[in-house]
Structure formats: structure tokens, C-alpha cells
């Protein structure tokens, strides 16, 4: 069968599978990181819901196959202790399946949670960033990692304890990930990270304290994480999955939006 799904959508799905495998295993060496027919499970069963993920992996899935995979994903999610999300790259679906997506998700017992956009770009290296209000600090200590977790909790509306459960004690995040805090004086106001993934630099967990949004802080610290990650790895291509808040920001750095994404949770 000829695959008609855009290669960028396939790339983004594969990037998610690679990065989230590492993140789930970082939280729990026994995390569920199965690759099933048509589904990748990356489930740490963490209180930080972003580390509990299922995604559809087949290109050009038709309506019947989509319905079956959504039902399977929902069954996997129901069997877990902690809630998480199905991440769905809409451009992986055959055109006729996209029109049935909402109804198929409802039948499977899934609710649409929020939108996203997959982006990529051959944009590295970039100039060393600066911002008149900010200094930048790489996350290397437990206290800095807690500040990073708290910024994500505030930025995405999670309880502080949930964000800390997702990052506390991680050796990966204080060594293998290029994670940076943006500081206004000595106050952390934004954060961003990059990590090497299958020949790309993947951007993850970008957040700004709601009290300090719309000042360019998130963009500045994202540029810092990209700059340092590219300098350390020599990589030239970067990928990310943006929420609605970040969607207008990343094209200014050089990312090109491609596949729309949907995040789904279980219906109550």
C-alpha cells in the first residue's frame, strides 16, 4: 500500500514514541512501554499526566481501523491507575477516517481534552539568545528541578505535587536533558528543555508562570535550550508538539507547523 500520510506526521509520531519511552522509564524502570500493532504505549503511571501516553502509530488508518484502535487505546487507559492521554496525530489518518474521528472517540469512551500542533524545522544552529529581563541556568540540582516542575504545574494547571512526581529525583533531567530555567533576578519565570532523539533535537515541557506570560520569556528560554542542545549534539533538525499557547511562538524560532493533534482522556 502506498503511504499518503505526510512524512512530517510520521516523524512526529516516531519522535513521541522515542522520547516518551525514555521519560516513562525514567519515572519507573517497570513502566509500560509496549509497542503493539498500531499503538505505542508509554505509560509511567505517574501523577504527572503527560508521562502517561498512548499514541496511534499506523499511517493512513481508515475509519474502521481507527475505531478499533481507539477502543483498544481506551481499554489500555482504563486498566491504568493514573489518568493520562491518547495523543493522536490527525494527519496520520486517511481522509475518510478524519470525518469519523469525533464519533469514534465518543463511542470508545474518550473525551477531547485539548488541541496541539506538531512542528519541525531544519533550523539549527541558532544564534545565542538573550533577553534584557533574564538570565538562564541549566537544571543540575534537585532545587532547580523542583522549580522546573513547579513552572510546568502552574503553566499547565496541574497541582504542584503532580509536577514534582513527574520530575523529582531524575538523573536524566539533570544530566541527559538540556533543561533550562529563565530567571528574573533569582525568580524562575519560565523553562524549556531539549533532548536528543533519533537524530533530532526534541523540545519538551516548555512553560511560563502565568504571572509572567506575554513577555517573551518562554520563547527566550526555548531558544536557549535549542542553542545549548545543538551546541552539545551538533544536530540541525528539531521537533516539538505545541499546545495552543505555544503554537504562535515556535514559528518565530523557525519551526514549521504540520500535523494537527488531539489529546484525549477517558470520559468520566
Q: How far is CA 174 from CA 140, 168, 194, 263, in A?
A: 4, 10, 12, 28
% of the chain exceeding 90 in pLDDT: 96
C-alpha closest to that of 204 among 18, 59, 5, 67: 18
Residue 27 to residue 20: CA distance in whole angstroms: 11
What does the pLDDT read at residue 2?
62
CB 161 within 8 Å of CB 146: no
- CATH classification for the domain delimited by 135-236, as one of 3.40.630.30, 1.10.1040.10, 3.30.450.40, 3.10.20.30: 3.40.630.30
What does the pLDDT read at residue 70?
98
The secondary structure element, H or E, covering residue 88 is: strand 85-89
Within 8 A by CB and 6+ apart from 26, the residues are 44, 170, 172, 173
Within 8 A by CB and 6+ apart from 81, the residues are 45
What does the pLDDT read at residue 5?
85
What does the pLDDT read at residue 268?
79
Give how far the C-alpha of residue 5 lies from the chain's centroid of Cα atoms, to the nearest Å: 21
Using pLDDT thresholds of 50, 70 and 90, give the confidence band for residue 246.
confident
What does the pLDDT read at residue 182?
98
Residue 12 to residue 24: CA distance in whole angstroms: 18
On the question of pLDDT at 129 being above 80, the answer is: yes
What does the pLDDT read at residue 126?
97
For 96-120, how does the pLDDT look when each residue is reduced to its tens digit (9 = 90+)?
Answer: 999 999 999 999 999 999 999 999 9
- Higher per-residue pLDDT: 207 or 4: 207
On the question of pLDDT at 169 being above 60, the answer is: yes
Using pLDDT thresholds of 50, 70 and 90, give the confidence band for residue 233.
very high
Query: Within 13 Å of residue 51, how many CA atoms lie on the same side as its CB?
Result: 25
For 191-229, how does the pLDDT look when each residue is reduced to its tens digit (9 = 90+)?
Answer: 999 999 999 999 999 999 999 999 999 999 999 999 999
Domain edges within the chain: 7-119+261-266, 135-236
- Cell 489529546 belongs to 263
For 61-86, how does the pLDDT look when each residue is reduced to its tens digit (9 = 90+)?
Answer: 999 999 999 999 999 999 999 999 99
Average pLDDT, the chain: 96
% of the chain exceeding 70 in pLDDT: 99
Least confident of 88-92, 153-157, 218-222, 243-247: 243-247
Amino acid at each position: 500500500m502506498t503511504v499518503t500520510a505526510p512524512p512530517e506526521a510520521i516523524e512526529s509520531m516516531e519522535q513521541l514514541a522515542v522520547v516518551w519511552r525514555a521519560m516513562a522509564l525514567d519515572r519507573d524502570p517497570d513502566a509500560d512501554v509496549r509497542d503493539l500493532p498500531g499503538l505505542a504505549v508509554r505509560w509511567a503511571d505517574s501523577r504527572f499526566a503527560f508521562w502517561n501516553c498512548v499514541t496511534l502509530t499506523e499511517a493512513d488508518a481508515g475509519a474502521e481501523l481507527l475505531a478499533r484502535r481507539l477502543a483498544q487505546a481506551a481499554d489500555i487507559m482504563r486498566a491504568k491507575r493514573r489518568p493520562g492521554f491518547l495523543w493522536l496525530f490527525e494527519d496520520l489518518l486517511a481522509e475518510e477516517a478524519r470525518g469519523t474521528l469525533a464519533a469514534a472517540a465518543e463511542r470508545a469512551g474518550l473525551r477531547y481534552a485539548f488541541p496541539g500542533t506538531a512542528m519541525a524545522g531544519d533550523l539549527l544552529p541558532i544564534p545565542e539568545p538573550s533577553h534584557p529581563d533574564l538570565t538562564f541556568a541549566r537544571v543540575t540540582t534537585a532545587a532547580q528541578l523542583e522549580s522546573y516542575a513547579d513552572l510546568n504545574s502552574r503553566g499547565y494547571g496541574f497541582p504542584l505535587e503532580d509536577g514534582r512526581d513527574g520530575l523529582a529525583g531524575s538523573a536524566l533531567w539533570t544530566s541527559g536533558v538540556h533543561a533550562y530555567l529563565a530567571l528574573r533576578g533569582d525568580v524562575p519565570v519560565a523553562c524549556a528543555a531539549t533532548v536528543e532523539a533519533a537524530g533530532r533535537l526534541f523540545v519538551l515541557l516548555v512553560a511560563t508562570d502565568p504571572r509572567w506570560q506575554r513577555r517573551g520569556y518562554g520563547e527566550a528560554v526555548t531558544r536557549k535550550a535549542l542553542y545549548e542542545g545543538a551546541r552539545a549534539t551538533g544536530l540541525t533538525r528539531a521537533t516539538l508538539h505545541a499546545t495552543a499557547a505555544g503554537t504562535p511562538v515556535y514559528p518565530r524560532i523557525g519551526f514549521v507547523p504540520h500535523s494537527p493533534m488531539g489529546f484525549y482522556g477517558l470520559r468520566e
